[in-house]
Each structure stands twice: as structure tokens, then as C-alpha cells.
Amino acid sequence: MTRTVYVNGEYLPETEAKVSIFDRGFLFADAVYEVTSVLDGKLIDFEGHAVRLKRSLDELEMAEPCTKNELLDIHRKLVELNGIEEGLVYLQVSRGSDGDRDFVFPSADTKPSLVLFTQNKPGLADSPAAKKGAKIISIEDIRWGRRDIKTVQLLYPSMGKMMAKKAGCDDAWLIEDGYVTEGTSNNAYYVKDGKIVTRPLSTDILHGITRKAVLRMAAEAQMEVEERLFTIDEAKDADEAFTTSASAFVMPVVEIDGVTLGDGSPGPIAKRLREIYLDESRKAAI
């Protein structure tokens, strides 16, 4: 079935969707994005994603393509048109194009490009991968320094995913100056003696929307949380570990660099946080 997508004010069959070959998102990765999950036909934490999108645009001095309410309407219409009960809505804003390639930004009156599409993911909440747990490897973090801006510069994270796949694993955690920054597309955590440890916010990591929600829910559940730098060896010595992201929610980690955590199955804190997150997010979905 052909999806309906959104491109610069138009709802189109995906086979008819086009952007200019001179679009700066295509030529320079001069674009930002967000991915919002859909459960029960409703958007999960749309407000958080809209706020982070605005921050990313501001940091890059990029114009907003539309208002937050207009963006919400587009999300909802795409979910409806494509019959999404469980899945994702991908949104991308680029600086647009003035009709040619130039390293210098186009004039301020150049309209940004806005593209959205849905991905149908039946069983997203009841993921078999979450019941099994993920195996990860560690790799060097050689990305640019502003990881807090959610740009489409995702070549190295993609390479990291492939490194993990070639090693027979599911994902990779990135290491910089001896410390874990984050996963290729998620925030990273470990649990030791009941305490959840994760890296504090800075320009070194993405300010995860799911991260923020999960840490709030952990505090409300009276779980102990410590935000500090940690090494991969600390994580390998943990009782359990997990990641968070908008598309995978809370994903237990059961192996790091070949070292099995606990008994090799998803740990109790990760499983409980996943349950809480899914329950609370469904209640608050719009």
C-alpha cells in the first residue's frame, strides 16, 4: 500500500514526493529531524519533540517551517490517512534551497523544507527484542561536538549499527575520552546495586525526550538515579543496563562487549521502567 507523505504543504503519495536536488539537507546534511511514536493511534510526547525541534532550529539559526499547532495537525492527519495504530512519524526540516550549491547559507528569506512520513510498526510496544534484551559493542565516538542538536548527520551512527551487526550484536555504545557518551540512536544507562547511572546532559549527548520522561518516572517510583560520567568497564560490571529512545522506549541490554550482565535476561528495573513508561505515555498521548 502506498503511503501518503507530507512535503512542503502538500499531502502526496510517496511515489510522487519530491524535493530539489539542491536542498541543503541532501547536499550538506543541513537539516534536523524528530521521530514521534504512535500508540493506539495517538502521538507519544509530541510536546517534548516540538520543543526540542524548536531548540535544534534555533541552535542552527534555521527558520521554523510552521507553527507547533500546524505541525500537530500534520502529524495527526498523516496518522489518520495512513491508518497508523502503532508506528512512527518522521519529521525533517532542512534549510531549503535557493537553487544552487554553496557552502554559505542561502538568504534569510529562503523557505525551509518540511517533510514528514509515517512508518507502520505493528507490535511496537510488545516488542520481542525488549523481551530478549539487546547485545551491544563499544566503539570510539568520532562524531561532531554538537550531539545535542538532532541533525540528520547520522553516517557514523549508521556505521556503528553495522559494526554491531557484523559482530553479531544489536547496537553500539560510543566511547569518548574513556567514558560512554550514548548509543548510536539512544541514551545509555546501567544499574548497579539498585542505582541507575547515566551521563548528564551536555553538548556531548542528545537531550532525549524519552530519557527525560523515564528519569522523571524513575524518581516518582523512588528509584535512585545518578547522572555522571561512567566507563564501559563500569557498565560491564553492572547488574543490568538499558537504553531509551522514542522508537524503542526502554530497551534492556543483556550483554556488553561479550560480557553477560546478570543472568543474561532483561533486568527488573529496565522491565519495570518499560512498563511504567508505556502505561503513562499511553495515558498522556494526544
Catalytic residues: 150
Which amino acid is present at 108? A
> Over the range 216-244, which residues count as b (16 or more CB within 10 Å of their CB) and which as e?
ebbeeeebeeeeebbebeebbebbbbbbb
Nine-digit cell string for 200: 548528564
- Residues forming beta bridges with residue 189, ordered by sequence position: 198, 242
Find the length of the chain.
286
Helix (H, G, I), strand (E, B) or coil at 34: strand
Rounded Cα gap, residues 261 and 112, in angstroms: 46
User: The cell 518522521 sits on which residue?
Assistant: 90
Nine-digit cell string for 192: 548497579
129 to 87, 177, 249: CA distances (angstroms): 16, 31, 11
Dihedral, 137, 143, 145, 150 alpha carbons, nearest 10: -90
Helix (H, G, I), strand (E, B) or coil at 234: helix
